[in-house]
Structure 1
Amino acid sequence: MKDRPNDLLLLAGQILAVIMQIFVTIGAAALLIALPILLFAGDLINAEIASEFGEAASGLPMVPIVAMIAIALGLLAMLFVFLGKLRAIIATVGEGDPFAPENARRLNLMAWLLLSMQLLALPAAGLGLLLAKWADQFEDQSITIDAGFDFTGILMVIVLFILARVFKHGAAMREDLEGTV
């Protein structure tokens, strides 16, 4: 009975990670559907913008939008992999073998993925500012960008790299101990 709360915690972690992977997949699918629509119907969209707001309104900034979609797809792909590695770690903890050498590699990869996501947020913010400037020409339409340095994300990267070392050291110690028995 003692292990029951931990089992529920691990189950909740697994379920949450799966649900998040499903949402990430849905988001990526939506972007993959939107991309060809934007590329092939750009002229129709620009014509609609001109008819709604007048000829003075500039057309859709296609390059920044496509670049933003590409970055978002990259971020979603990295998040999907990150969550998959998290699920694998949770599974090994549930099996009673958290200091498996593979978990050290998983945590290391998770740290690199999170660092890459932090770095990709920088050009995304720049593109967002371009799109916000474009939207300013329309009455009652605006895009707000919340961009800044994410100290929590950087802290998580450092924590994951440290945990990867802890798990690597723990796995090596366990192997040494098993070798002496």
Structure 2
Amino acid sequence: MTDAAHRPNDLLLLAGKVLSLMMQGIMVLAAIGLLIAMPVLVIFRADIVAGVAAEMGPQAGEFPLVPAIAVMALALIAVALIFFFFGKLRQVIDTVAEGDPFVPKNADRLGLMAWLLLAVQLLGFPIAAIGMYVSDWAEAVEDVNLTFDVGIDIEGMLMVVILFILARVFRLGAAMRDDLEGTV
């Protein structure tokens, strides 16, 4: 094939690599923000509680600071999982760019990517449960109605299944290639 025939694929791979790097950068910024916010909430807990009480009145009781920190900690775990997901995606993209994607390592990478996304999906449940607790507090204090979706993200779960299937396809493709090379 000519270089022109490879150009669209090269641009697509470049875009995938750039987007993966950008997403990892965003995850680093999110992690830094969470790592700063959690200790700030702990250090300035008394000031935060006093500020909430001054703003909302004594009926506010104590602001649910521990649940807020728990949500941040779970979000930090999700951010780390997503960071590693995009790192694995970038490694798969690199092997495609090299012209040798059907290697056992890519099957392992795709399988790990599926597990990482599944973990992110499952983290949504405790985050939503804590969110409902905070929502109950907000409603009791100022009749504020906060809503949290609790459930399975169909698109996310579909992506998990697709990644597990792709991992099998890549594993089978690598095995078939090895068998073919052994017979030649």
Same fold (TM over 0.5): yes
Alignment correspondent of 2:160: 157
Superposition TM-score, scaled by structure 2 size: 0.93
For residues 108-156 of structure 1, give each alpha carbon's deviation from its aligned partner in whole angstroms, at most 9, with x where no partner exists.
1011111111111111111111112222245485543233321111111
Counterpart for residue 87 of structure 1 = 90
> 1:27 matched to which residue of 2?
30
Amino acid at match of 2:118: L
Q: In the TM superposition, what whole-angstrom CA distance separates every residue of 1:73-97 from its partner, at most 9, and x where no partner exists? A: 1100100000000000011001101
- Across the two proteins, how many residue pairs are aligned to each other? 181
Match of residue 147, structure 1, among 146, 150, 169: 150
More helix by share: 2
Instruction: Report the identity percentage.
Output: 54
Q: TM-score, structure 1 length as denominator?
A: 0.94
Does 2:112 correspond to 1:109? yes
Corresponding residue number in structure 1 for 2:39? 36
Which whole-Å CA distance do the structure 1 matches of 2:65 and 2:10 have between them? 49
Query: Hey, what's the Cα distance between the residues in 1 that align with 2:137 and 2:32?
Result: 26
1:125 pairs with one of 124, 128, 131: 128
Give the structure 2 partner of residue 53 of structure 1.
56
Helix, strand or coil at the partner of 1:2: helix
Partner amino acid, structure 2, of 1:177: L
- Distance in 2 (CA, whole Å) between partners of 1:126 and 1:139 is 20
Q: Distance in 2 between matches of 1:135 and 1:160?
A: 39
SS in 2 for 1:56: helix
- The amino acid of 1:37's aligned partner reads V
Within the candidate set 2, 7, 11, 1:8 is matched to 11
- SS at 2:60's partner residue? coil
8 Å Cα contact 1:104/1:165 also seen in 2 = yes
State the Cα distance separating 1:26 from its structure 2 match. Answer: 0.4
C-alpha RMSD of the superposition:
1.4
